[in-house]
Amino acid sequence: MIRTKRFFLFVLIFSLILISTCALFFANIFSFAQFVSILLALGITTINFITGFLSAKASLKKDDETFIKIVFGSMIIRLFSLLLIVLLSLIFLDINQNSFIFSIFIFYILFLFIEVYYLNFPKT
């Protein structure tokens, strides 16, 4: 039941972001380049969040020392892979750089709050 609520909450947040981004694009508030940049940022940070969530979920069943190694190790690996993906995207893709960087920042912070909430309250 708790897992279903958390999964539903994540799907709801992801859907709201996606729907609001599409609505702003169709209302001609975002240009096509901004729209693609925001969707790319959402996809990248969502993959980052899912890998972090899965590593956190696996680490909760371990002892304290292993928990710290898994959580911080995955955080370092995910941050460097995110940095590499962002740099490659900025170099090789024709996207709006300001929208992309700002969206990566916002989505990363949002998903980080969800991850921290999960680690602080694993049974609620």
Q: What would the pLDDT profile of 16-68 be if each residue is shown by its tens digit?
A: 888 988 898 889 888 898 999 999 999 999 999 889 888 888 888 888 899 88
- Tokens, residue 99: 């929208």
For the chain, how many residues are written? 124
pLDDT the model gives residue 45: 93
Torsion of CA 12, 13, 14, 20, to 10 degrees: 100
Average pLDDT score over the chain:
86
CA 49 to mean position of chain CA atoms: 4
- Alpha-carbon span 37 to 52, nearest angstrom: 22
Spell out the residues 6+ positions from residue 82 whose beta carbon is closer than 8 angstroms to its own.
44, 45, 48, 104, 108
Q: In whole angstroms, what is the distance from residue 110 CA to residue 100 CA?
A: 15
How many H-runs (helices) and E-runs (strands) does the chain carry?
A: 4, 0
